[in-house]
Amino acid sequence: MTKVAQLSETDYVRLLLDHADRLRKLGSEPLAVACATNKFNDGDDDDYWSAVQIGHGYWEQSLFFENESRNHSTAKHSDDAEPAFALGREIIVSLEKEEWRRAGEDILARVPGYYPGGLGYIYALIIQYDQVWLWVGAPNDPEAFLYACHSSELVLTAIDKERLDQFIGAPNLLFPESFRQGSLPFLSPTAQAHFRPRITEQAASQELGRLVDDVVTQLRRVTATPVAFWLAPCDPDFVIKADNTVAVSKIINDLDPSKLRQLFERATGLDTQENNARGRAVGGAGGIVFTVIGMAVTVVFEIFVFSLDRTKGLTFEGYSHRRIPNGQIEGHQYLALADPGFFEPVASS
């Protein structure tokens, strides 16, 4: 067993990368192994939780309240669970033998921006976007630290705003906020491409601009106040927020939601459905929000903020400091999009 006191950050990252190499062999992304003392319960006597995810399949085990006579273990798994999950559990056992959570607390205490959480934190080793991540967060607090494992160091990349213990098995395991642009050079090429979206098809971008601009012209004939319409990942209809709802809805509903989504995906190369299909229940995942303030149009997907112009089409502007929530878009939330403090402008290449 590796002695925790002897682990440098380089040693710790190597430990994670070595186990990630084993994890990669088990199947397709997203891949994850995770464990924690308490999962989501508040009782001091809750004990061990662990989980494995391979693609969209998962295995999860929880043991609660060990000191009670009714104690029993429960194991959940998806229908497509395979023998590979036994190998995934072996990876957890190996990490636990290396005391990776205790070592992590020791290492992360020296990393700027981290506040120690003790062994009750969930620790997860995740592979997504061809990048190895260390996800560390409290099981009863939807705010976690997301680190990229790069060569010999842990790079704080973002704050993640979902509780991993509740969403093992989901097609997307990463929901960052407060993305740190300085981390981009340390990410894999695939992760860099995802977190620094570029316009991949200008014709689709400009067509989207023309369609929405035509709608804006009509909207300004019936209302001068801000308008927002939200396209959910699993819903064919718009969620609309405006003062003059009847008139505004009539104009917006003339748009074809599927066409707007297709144009946005073609223009940006972003997948807004398959990898984000949690629907309304979770943080607006996969939802595309269009806001109209004056004649200016802003488009927000996940943490990515774009301006939309009739002539130029989409332009990536920066990273939002918070995720637009689900379909319950309130006035102050879309008005915030006009506030420069809502997002961090993207640094020039």
Q: So what's the pLDDT on residue 248?
A: 94
**Nearest-angstrom CA–CA distance, 299 and 217:** 17
The one-digit pLDDT tens for each residue of the chain (349 residues) are 444 456 899 999 999 999 999 999 999 999 999 998 766 655 555 567 889 999 988 888 865 554 443 334 455 666 656 778 889 999 999 999 999 999 998 888 877 666 656 667 889 999 999 999 999 988 777 788 999 999 989 999 998 877 788 788 888 888 888 888 899 999 999 999 989 999 999 999 999 999 999 999 999 999 998 888 888 776 678 888 888 889 999 999 999 998 999 999 999 998 887 545 443 334 344 578 898 988 999 998 888 889 999 999 999 998 887 665 444 445 445 555 555 556 677 766 5
Q: So what's the pLDDT on residue 186?
A: 95
Q: So what's the pLDDT on residue 131?
A: 98
Q: So what's the pLDDT on residue 116?
A: 59
Q: So what's the pLDDT on residue 4?
A: 45
Region of 101 (left: φ > 0; alpha: ψ -120 to 50; beta: rest) is alpha
The DSSP annotation for 145-175 comes to: EEEEEETTEEEEEEEE-S-GGG-TT-S----
Q: So what's the pLDDT on residue 69?
A: 39
Name which of 110, 118, 104, 205 is nearest 149 in CA terms.
104
**Nearest-angstrom CA–CA distance, 90 and 75:** 16
Q: So what's the pLDDT on residue 271?
A: 82
Name which of 150, 149, 145, 148 is nearest 164 in CA terms.
145
**Nearest-angstrom CA–CA distance, 349 and 281:** 36
Angle between helices 84-97 and 9-24 (to 10 degrees): 170
Q: Is the dihedral of CA 264, 267, 268, 269 positive or negative?
A: positive
Q: So what's the pLDDT on residue 71?
A: 38
Both tokens assigned to 44: 């001091």
Domain ranges of the chain: 4-193, 202-345
Q: So what's the pLDDT on residue 328?
A: 45
Helix (H, G, I), strand (E, B) or coil at 204: helix
